[in-house]
Amino acid sequence: MDLKHQKRIRRHKRIRAKVKGTASRPRLSVFKSNKHIFLQLINDEEQKTILGIGDFFKKGKSKGEKKETKTEKARRLGKKIAELALKAGVKKAVFDRGGFLYHGRVKATAEGAREGGLDF
């Protein structure tokens, strides 16, 4: 593993020592790669994933519409997971940034989830 990846794993372990998901308040976990972003709502007590979503969840693109940036996709995905969580009966969650710094796509995801109605 390269040093950058090792540092992210170390940060994630520190975060996970403090952040736990429950049935009433699951953990919203974020993972991002260079191209994609993935979100999961996790109940750590039962070790179950309530729901998961990735940016493969496409919205139809019309002709003439400009391509969506990765940050815009992350915000849209945050709104979508909030919408699905509300349907599943989850109103509150704890945010797990996965060792990533809280800016860019991670921040856009959190803001999108808040706009969608999820409380952190």
pLDDT, tens digit, 9 for 90 and up, residues 36-57 = 999 999 999 999 999 999 988 6
Is there a domain that residue 120 lies in? no
Task: Give all strands of the β-sheet with 37-43 in edge-to-edge order.
Answer: 48-54, 37-43, 27-32, 94-96
What global pTM score does this model have? 0.88
Mean pLDDT (the chain) is 92
Domain count, the chain: 1
Which residue range forms the structural domain that includes residue 92? Answer: 3-58+67-115
The whole-angstrom separation of Cα 118 and Cα 44 is 18
Q: With respect to residue 82, please indicate whether it lies within any of the assigned structural domains.
A: yes
Residue 93 lies in a domain: yes
